[in-house]
Structure 1
Amino acid sequence: MNNLVLASSSAEAASLEAARTRLAEVAGTLGTLNGNLVAAAGNASAAELAQSDQGALVDFVEKELIPLSGALAGAFPEHGASTESRVLAKVATGHNERIVSAAKALEVQEAPVKMVNAGGRLLEAATAFIAEATELILPALAQNTAVSLADLLPKPAPAEAGAPGETQTPASGGCACGGHDEPGLAELDTRVIPHAIRHATIFGALEGLNTGKGILLVANHNPLPLLAQLEQRSPGKFEVSYVEDGPELWKLSMVRN
């Protein structure tokens, strides 16, 4: 990730980092929600659960991701725009259109296998958008004196009853970040996540979990700062226990209460 961005002001620099962090959290949540869907669809007797996870993924995309991609698509000033701005505006618009289309395609699927395929295409579209928004679109906007990132981006969608982790009971515990090491826990290897967005990605992945489900966090150090931040932002929401306690590798079971 390029952290050396010359923003138009210190406030815009702070807003840029906040926006990048938010996108990292969104990416983590999307990975978990898609993993929930894949896990439920793989259970032949869990058609209703697959539909529930399908709805949770579509709902999150419509309430959190599409407002973000739509805001960036319309962010660049139309008058006096540079060639670069016009190109980025077109790129952002294309991403927004693909995400909207993929979400609609997922919403109408009825067969679990088709839900999984549509969910995968939605995740691909979202991942491409988040990568280019993080590296190209947001930095360009942060340098544009005619734009305020703090005012541009919509506020995060509030948590509601029925949101991930509140009332759903999926077939298995999902995070689409790796293989399984502990029964019912999908592995999230922090070593492959860029350091600048590591904590935000993990927090997003945890927020996508359903009650009683979790992830197996893998790290090359004891993640005490992460655990302190998690308890500060979500006190008592997750049960954490060490599966492996160093000295070269740490594995933590993190289950949502």
Structure 2
Amino acid sequence: MNNLVLASSSTEAEALEAAKTRLAEAGGTLGTLALNLLSAVAGQPGGELAGADQTKLVDFAEQELLPVAAAFAAALAGSANSAEKVLAAVAAGHSARLVDATKSLEVEEAPVKVLYAGARLQEAAAAFLDHATELIVPALAQNPALKLTGILPQRTVDAAAAAPAKGGCACGGHDEPGLSELDTRVIPHAIRHATIFGALEGLSAGKGILLVANHNPLPLLAQLEQRSAGKFTVSYVEDGPETWKLSMVRN
């Protein structure tokens, strides 16, 4: 959605955009890590590789998703507004489901159960990220009595540094050997770059994505160089005029 949100102040407006960017990045990383787990379990049922990817997804949930969900729930808990009370209940529900799904994935050992638990966590996280972006964050930014600024916990995990052994994204398709396709044309423009950066952060060394776009993504590449100079090798697989495809591999 691209609905205009009028924040209660310029500071809250900045916090709104920062929060939406962080949620989009989390969604991108979640997709990569979830696909990593699926690939690992399918390729080596019950092996060490699957266990490593299972741990990475659990760590990402515990160190990023759960603290953010808890922060939103706490921020809305004291509101006297009836609509925000409903949102507080929604946020608390998301937080509880994420905790439960994360714990379930952490303790599973059988490959089939690991797959089920991973899918359950991904579903719970996707629902939370969607509601947080479209409902919770705007509500916090719009109400002067509530504060979005400063409520998000500081990141304690670097998904790129802690990346699992497999690489990929959650968008399906394989045009290049070893590269999962990320079609940017289906990602809303407002969160496109953040989602891509999040997906890239979930990659381990030597793994990558095949980025598909309907234009030459030069602004994206400039931003990537700014924030992650030298961390990725980028090469054009298809250079227009209607479709651009870029191999983006983590060094």
TM-score, with length taken from structure 1: 0.94
Partner of 2:7: 7
Corresponding residue SS for 2:104: helix
Per-residue deviation, 1:45: 6.4
Instruction: Output the aligned Cα RMSD.
Output: 1.5
Q: What is the CA–CA distance in structure 2 between the aligned matches of 1:89 and 1:204, rounded to whole Å?
A: 27
2:63 counterpart residue number:
63
Give the match for residue 242 of structure 2.
248
**CA distance in structure 1 between the aligned counterparts of 2:27 and 2:73, rounded to whole angstroms:** 18
The aligned runs of 1:175-194 (5 Å cut-off) are 175-194=169-188
Gaps of 5+ in 1: none
Name the CA distance, whole Å, in 2 between partners of 1:72 and 1:99: 13
1:39 and 1:174 in contact (8 A); partners too:
no
**Letter matched to residue 83 of structure 2:** E
Contact 2:232 2:248 (8 Å CA) reproduced: yes
- 6-15 or 39-48: bigger deviation: 39-48
Are 2:127 and 1:133 aligned?
Answer: no
1:150-229 alignment to 2 at 5 Å?
150-159=149-158, 163-164=162-163, 168-170=164-166, 173-229=167-223
Q: CA deviation at 1:151?
A: 1.6
Distance 1:67 1:201 in 2: 20
1:50 and 2:50 correspond:
yes
Q: Number of residues paired by the alignment?
A: 251
Say which is worse superposed, 22-31 or 4-13, in terms of deviation. Answer: 4-13
Q: In 2, Cα distance between the equivalents of 1:45 and 1:89?
A: 40
Contact 2:35 2:169 in 1 (8 A): yes
SS at match of 1:216: strand
Q: Which amino acid aligns with 2:96?
A: E
Q: Does the 8 Å CA contact 2:77/2:88 hold for their aligned counterparts?
A: no
- Provide the secondary structure at the position in 1 that maps to 2:122: helix
Cα gap change, 1:221 to 1:161, in 2 (>3 Å): closer
Q: What is the TM-score when the length of structure 2 is the normalising length?
A: 0.96
Distance 1:134 1:98 in 2: 17
Residues in 2 aligned to 1:158 and 1:108: alpha-carbon distance in whole angstroms: 21
In structure 2, distance between residues paired with 1:185 and 1:140? 39
Task: Give the aligned partner of residue 109 of structure 1.
Answer: 108
Tell me the equivalent position of 1:146.
145
AA aligned to 2:126 is: T
Give the deviation of 1:161 after TM superposition.
9.4
Instruction: Could you list the structure 1 runs, at least 4 aligned residues long, displaced by more than 2 angstroms after superposition.
Output: 158-162
SS of residue in 2 equivalent to 1:182: coil
Match of 2:35 in 1: 35
The residue number in structure 1 matching 2:94 is 95
Residues 77, 146 of structure 1: 8 Å contact kept: no
Structure 2 residue identity aligned to 1:169: A
> C-alpha separation between the residues in 2 aligned to 1:202 and 1:214?
12
Partner of 1:17: 17
